[in-house]
């Protein structure tokens, strides 16, 4: 799933040895939640894909049609759920950092005060955590995460994103066809986010978020050694 495996079992052992004020059950909840959220994200991505596979099973398809509307609604709903799950993973990872690295320097916060950017700011004050800070910052400032975060906040506070179904034939690449559902461009806090294919969110963005999480996790372990 990740390009480099994060050794979570090693983190559990380091936590027991290095951290004085321990709450192993709570840490395990957060670590388990990361895996569960990846499973949920995979489920939503698969269901979005299956909606179109079911639609195109017919020998003849009609656009628009009731069947097309069903495929669209399922795909949109599953993609929105996927984005919500992926966006929430940054704060779960922040909880892990709070209980491990920030606890080691007596800077941990109550659970309900932990947010990704707040944890990043605290981490940046400790030179021994510079690698974790750098990787966590890359994650939170990546195009993929910023898109997810803006997508979620726009849905939560303003409106659903507009969509269309697009067919593009690239004759310069021997008639290569690209077709599917797209989320139209939208503006969030002065930043314009471009038209994005749902398939890119379901595959490219999802897997990239996993990679960032694993990269941060590996640096958490390294910082605790």
Dump pLDDT digits (tens) for 66-99: 999 999 999 999 999 999 999 999 999 999 999 9
Q: Give the pLDDT band (50/70/90) at residue 158.
A: confident
Tell me if 153 is assigned to some domain: no
Tell me if 220 is assigned to some domain: yes
Instruction: Read off the DSSP letter of residue 19.
Output: -
Q: Any bridge partners for residue 180, and if so which?
A: 166
- Which H or E run includes 186? strand 186-188
Tell me if 154 is assigned to some domain: no
The answer to whether 184 and 161 have CB atoms below 8 angstroms apart is yes
Segment 35-78, tens digit of pLDDT: 999 999 999 999 999 999 999 898 888 888 999 999 999 999 99
Tell me if 210 is assigned to some domain: yes
- The residue range of the domain holding 66 is 22-147+203-224
Of 213, 220, 223, nearest in space to 3 by CA: 213
Tell me if 95 is assigned to some domain: yes
Q: Say how many domains are in the chain.
A: 1
Tell me if 124 is assigned to some domain: yes
User: How far is the C-alpha of 45 from the C-alpha of 202, rounded, in Å?
Assistant: 5
């Amino acid at each position: 799933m990740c390009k480099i495996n994060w050794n979570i079992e090693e983190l559990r052992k380091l936590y027991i040895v290095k951290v004085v004020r321990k709450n192993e059950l709570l840490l395990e909840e957060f670590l388990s939640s990361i895996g569960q959220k990846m499973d949920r994200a995979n489920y939503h991505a698969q269901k979005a894909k299956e909606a179109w596979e079911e639609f195109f099973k017919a020998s003849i398809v009609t656009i628009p049609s009731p069947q097309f509307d069903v495929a669209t609604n399922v795909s949109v709903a599953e993609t929105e759920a996927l984005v919500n799950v992926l966006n929430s993973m940054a704060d779960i990872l922040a909880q892990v950092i709070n209980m491990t690295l920030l606890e080691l320097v007596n800077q941990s916060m109550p659970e309900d005060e932990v947010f990704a950017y707040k944890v990043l700011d605290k981490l940046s004050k400790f030179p021994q955590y510079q690698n974790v800070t750098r990787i966590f910052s890359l994650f939170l400032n990546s195009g993929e995460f910023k898109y997810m975060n803006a997508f979620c906040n726009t849905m939560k506070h303003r409106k659903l994103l507009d969509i269309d179904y697009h067919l593009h034939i690239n004759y310069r690449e021997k008639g290569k066809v690209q077709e599917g559902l797209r989320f139209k461009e939208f503006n969030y806090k002065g930043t314009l986010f471009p038209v994005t294919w749902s398939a890119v969110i379901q595959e490219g963005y999802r897997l990239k978020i996993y990679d960032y999480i694993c990269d941060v996790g590996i640096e958490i372990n390294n910082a605790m050694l």
